[in-house]
Structure 1
Amino acid sequence: MDLTYPPEAEEFRTEIRGWLEENLPEGWFDEGFEMTPDERKAFTEEWTEKLFAGGWICATWPQEYGGKGLSLIQGVVLSEEFSRAKAPMRADFFGDTLVGPTILQYGTEEQKKQFLPQILKGEVRWCQGFSEPESGSDLASLKTKAVLDGDEWVITGQKVWTTQAQFADYCFLLARTDPDVKKQAGISYLLVPMQQDGIEVRGIVQPDGTDEFNEVFFDGARCPKENVLGGVNNGWTVANSTLGFERGMSATTGHRRFEEEWRLLVEQAQANGKIADPIVRQGLARYHSKIQILRINGLRNLTANLTGEKDMGVAALGATNKMFWSEMHKEAMELALDIFGTESLLSTVGPEKGSWPATARTQGRAAYPVSPMVSSFFFSRSETIWGGTSQIQRNIVGEKVLGLPREPKPPAKG
């Protein structure tokens, strides 16, 4: 494992740091800096334009598709500096982190030219149409179907837990296009316009009042024939690539949000005397230790990728990483409730309002006055589910890493 960066990477780090200091709002790096809701709204609108002008959205993409063509180490440095500055680095998570890389890998030239520039500019928003009421962990059993009618696919079925579907322009959707073959073999990956008749989005309200999760009903919705990604009936292979992007965390930045949470937990425990409780101290020590394991494993992954060396231990980390950090965070948020106690019910926690690290669930959309920490607690419950449940991840580790026999299937009904 190499803990040093080459001189050219450090030069690039200086360039990124200078750009951030020049383009972030005045006072951003000052202790206690906050923005009013109106200021944050204006910042969000302007920041995407600045990111695009700077070329930092999807900067590792090839130049012919709008990226900067950054090397792996440059991409890592870029992520580290944005993370250090706590600056947003993307326009649309589902676009530039999930479906964008998938289009790069499997798309036709026409698909790349149509969709990638829109993703880079933040002009379209995406949602993910994978899970169904009866097909979550067993995704290959999905029942949503697409039937070719001339130059269009006609889609019928239901998806669930579809984040941000109410705002999306497109859905990258899995649908059954051949019911007469093995279930994994008859699935296609479609890029479906959302703003059309035949699609109904219903919000699923969460305990904190947010409703970014949705049910989506397709009743004769249409999709252009050419919007199949990776070929007809090849959607299972394509979807596994998308899930790989979803399950990952940036090698050397994924631990930083957790480190900030740990610091705030220690600060609160010291303030209210819970630090004297040996069980709380042990929980804090365990959380800190796991964060360091996550950090070190990230460096191991980075070193292996840069050197191209085959390391079975690092390969195993790829199968265990998502399960490790999601279960770690779920446990840590249970510890947070113990430390904050009844203060968890207040609308703010910690020494400063807004100090809790932001997640997808703590962006100011809560309908009820719950604290950011409690929103993070709620979100941690979902982290062991999305991108592959911990149970499924254990099966993958057992079968693919340890070489154990496949889990026996339940007996057929009747």
Structure 2
Amino acid sequence: MDLNFTPEEETFRQEIRQFIADNLPEETRRHMSQLRPPTRDMVHQWVQALASRGWSCPRWPVEYGGPGWDAVRQYIFFEEIQAAPSPDIVSFGTNMVGPVIFTFGTEAQKAHYLPKIATLEHWWCQGFSEPGAGSDLAAVRTKAVRDGDGWVIDGQKTWTTYAHRANMIFVLARTDPHAKKQEGISFFLVDMSLPGVSVRPIQTIDGDREINEVFLDNVRVPASCLVGEENKGWDYAKFLLGNERTGIARVGMTRGRLQMIEQLAAERIVDGRPLIEHARFRDRLTELQVELKALEMTVMRVLSAEQAKGKPNPATSVLKLVGADMQQRMTELYLQVAGEDAVAWPDQDGTGPNGIMGPDWADAAPAAYFNMRKVSIYGGSTEVQKNIIAKAILGL
């Protein structure tokens, strides 16, 4: 069953596809089709191409530099660029802090930050989680103390994705230590070149270093870096997380990779016949494809409801929960197709893998599998999402 799009929406889809064909380098597409993370240069080059068309902030209204697309066109856009596959737009800027700024920020903040987000002059990362405040985000201990015409921030953030690439970080910090946990937090915009900001990479299970610890030691920021009202940061954080979970389902990405997996399985010979002809594998693949269609329709309903009401929908937790599960199951299929070629074979001197025993795409399968274990944790763990669904949707 296909979603019904109008002729104008189908024309828009073709426009997106043509733009991708004309502007996405083949090297980048091939690199990402193997579920390898894009390099910094790949991301920057792609965002610059999108910005030249006014598409680098697809969810923004026209008055703030976005295309002003409705929910359907936003969905089509993300589906196509994820399926291409192309590098993700840096969502910490476009989908997270950008909407916070144009919804709650001052006119001066909008004028200063939004254009730089659109062109990736400002590469943002998210300073929320801490060693003692992950799923319980309201337990943040990073503090900000008013000092004259500015603030002094001290604390530690962790699991900060792309902090090693970023030059800006938005930070939740406690500004009233005597208030209830959710009521004493403020939201700050911090330049990472300021004295006292340092970054330490964390190696993850897949061998990459995309996440980091960020230390803020006596970092002085001007008063203009406070977003909205003092001690209202928890409200802005909930708004931001709602936007994050809407896009975190990654329907287009999962669809594109399932198509790749189906093609590889048709070529992969196991026990004398293509893997796609093995009933158990085919059943798992078909089950994922059917569930993906259901997720796609749910995403559309949630986006339409958000657009009508003008605020995040708690149903985004459903998207996060189901989307994370599907991404993980997709990489399990990818690993199954790779089979023994996914094993890292050592060189003759035992110094490390040489990759010549299998194709490049198979070499990438283990890292993709391990990397996707994170999706049921970041953006709110699976357990937290279930609690939100129980309370906000089911009324339990």
- Please state whether the residue corresponding to 1:124 is helix, strand or coil: coil
Partner of 1:76: 75
CA distance in 2, matches of 1:318, 1:259: 23
Query: Does structure 2 retain, via aligned residues, the 8 Å contact 1:287–1:328?
Result: no
Report how many aligned residue pairs link the two structures: 377
Query: Does structure 2 retain, via aligned residues, the 8 Å contact 1:349–1:372?
Result: no
Task: Tell me whether 374-383 or 19-28 shows the greater mean CA deviation.
Answer: 19-28
Partner of 1:381: 373
CA distance in 2, matches of 1:14, 1:276: 33
- Please state whether the residue corresponding to 2:227 is helix, strand or coil: coil
Partner of 1:7: 7
- Please state whether the residue corresponding to 1:167 is helix, strand or coil: coil
2:75 aligned partner, one-letter code: V
Query: Does structure 1 retain, via aligned residues, the 8 Å contact 2:59–2:95?
Result: no
Partner of 1:401: 393
Task: Give the Å deviation of 1:51.
Answer: 1.6
CA distance in 2, matches of 1:316, 1:59: 21
Query: Does structure 2 retain, via aligned residues, the 8 Å contact 1:262–1:288?
Result: no
CA distance in 2, matches of 1:303, 1:220: 45
Partner of 1:361: none
CA distance in 1, matches of 2:155, 2:32: 47
Task: Tell me whether 152-161 or 93-102 shows the greater mean CA deviation.
Answer: 93-102
Partner of 1:253: 252
1:15-55: per-residue Cα shift (whole Å, max 9, x none)?
A: 333333333447999x9999xxxxx8876554333221111
Task: Give the Å deviation of 1:331.
Answer: 4.1
Partner of 2:224: 226
Query: Does structure 1 retain, via aligned residues, the 8 Å contact 2:65–2:115?
Result: yes
Query: Does structure 1 retain, via aligned residues, the 8 Å contact 2:202–2:211?
Result: yes
CA distance in 2, matches of 1:148, 1:376: 44
Task: Please report the TM-score for the alignment, with normalisation by the length of structure 2.
Answer: 0.82
Unaligned runs of 5+ in 1: 35-39, 357-370, 405-414
Q: Structure with the greater relative contact order (CA < 8 A, sep ≥ 6): 1 or 2?
A: 2
CA distance in 2, matches of 1:248, 1:210: 26
1:17 aligned partner, one-letter code: R
- Please state whether the residue corresponding to 2:164 is helix, strand or coil: helix
Partner of 1:200: 198
1:346-386: per-residue Cα shift (whole Å, max 9, x none)?
A: 36699853x57xxxxxxxxxxxxxx3211111211111110
Q: 1:328 aligns with which of 292, 311, 326?
A: 326
2:292 aligned partner, one-letter code: L
1:186-232: per-residue Cα shift (whole Å, max 9, x none)?
A: 01111111112212211112244322211111110122212122321
Query: Does structure 1 retain, via aligned residues, the 8 Å contact 2:173–2:187?
Result: yes
Query: Does structure 2 retain, via aligned residues, the 8 Å contact 1:251–1:302?
Result: no
Unaligned runs of 5+ in 2: 34-38, 345-352
Task: Give the Å deviation of 1:14.
Answer: 3.1
Identity %: 36
Task: Give the Å deviation of 1:334.
Answer: 4.3
Task: Tell me whether 326-335 or 196-205 shows the greater mean CA deviation.
Answer: 326-335
CA distance in 1, matches of 2:28, 2:125: 31
Q: 2:240 aligns with which of 234, 239, 242?
A: 242
Query: Does structure 2 retain, via aligned residues, the 8 Å contact 1:330–1:380?
Result: yes
Query: Does structure 2 retain, via aligned residues, the 8 Å contact 1:57–1:89?
Result: no
CA distance in 1, matches of 2:333, 2:21: 35
1:382 aligned partner, one-letter code: K
CA distance in 2, matches of 1:32, 1:160: 28
1:374 aligned partner, one-letter code: P
Partner of 1:212: 210
CA distance in 1, matches of 2:326, 2:41: 35
Task: Give the Å deviation of 1:251.
Answer: 7.5
Task: Please report the TM-score for the alignment, with normalisation by the length of structure 1.
Answer: 0.79
Task: Give the Å deviation of 1:113.
Answer: 0.9
Task: Tell me whether 106-115 or 169-178 shows the greater mean CA deviation.
Answer: 106-115
Task: Give the Å deviation of 1:325.
Answer: 2.4
Change (3 A) 1:118 1:243: same
Partner of 1:108: 106
1:381-408: per-residue Cα shift (whole Å, max 9, x none)?
A: 111110011111122222333333xxxx
CA distance in 2, matches of 1:300, 1:383: 19
Match runs of 1:133-144 below 5 Å: 133-144=131-142
Q: Are 2:382 and 1:390 equivalent residues in the alignment?
A: yes
Change (3 A) 1:240 1:282: farther
Partner of 1:63: 62
Change (3 A) 1:350 1:246: farther
Q: Are 2:20 and 1:20 equivalent residues in the alignment?
A: yes
Query: Does structure 2 retain, via aligned residues, the 8 Å contact 1:2–1:299?
Result: no
Partner of 1:345: 343
Task: Give the Å deviation of 1:71.
Answer: 2.5
Query: Does structure 1 retain, via aligned residues, the 8 Å contact 2:328–2:373?
Result: yes
Query: Does structure 1 retain, via aligned residues, the 8 Å contact 2:28–2:42?
Result: no
Task: Give the Å deviation of 1:98.
Answer: 1.9
Query: Does structure 2 retain, via aligned residues, the 8 Å contact 1:203–1:215?
Result: yes
Q: Are 2:255 and 1:263 equivalent residues in the alignment?
A: no
1:299-346: per-residue Cα shift (whole Å, max 9, x none)?
A: 244256548999xxxx78533221122133334444554554442223
Query: Does structure 2 retain, via aligned residues, the 8 Å contact 1:252–1:299?
Result: no
Q: 2:163 aligns with which of 165, 172, 188?
A: 165
2:11 aligned partner, one-letter code: E
Change (3 A) 1:372 1:241: farther
CA distance in 2, matches of 1:26, 1:142: 43
1:373 aligned partner, one-letter code: A
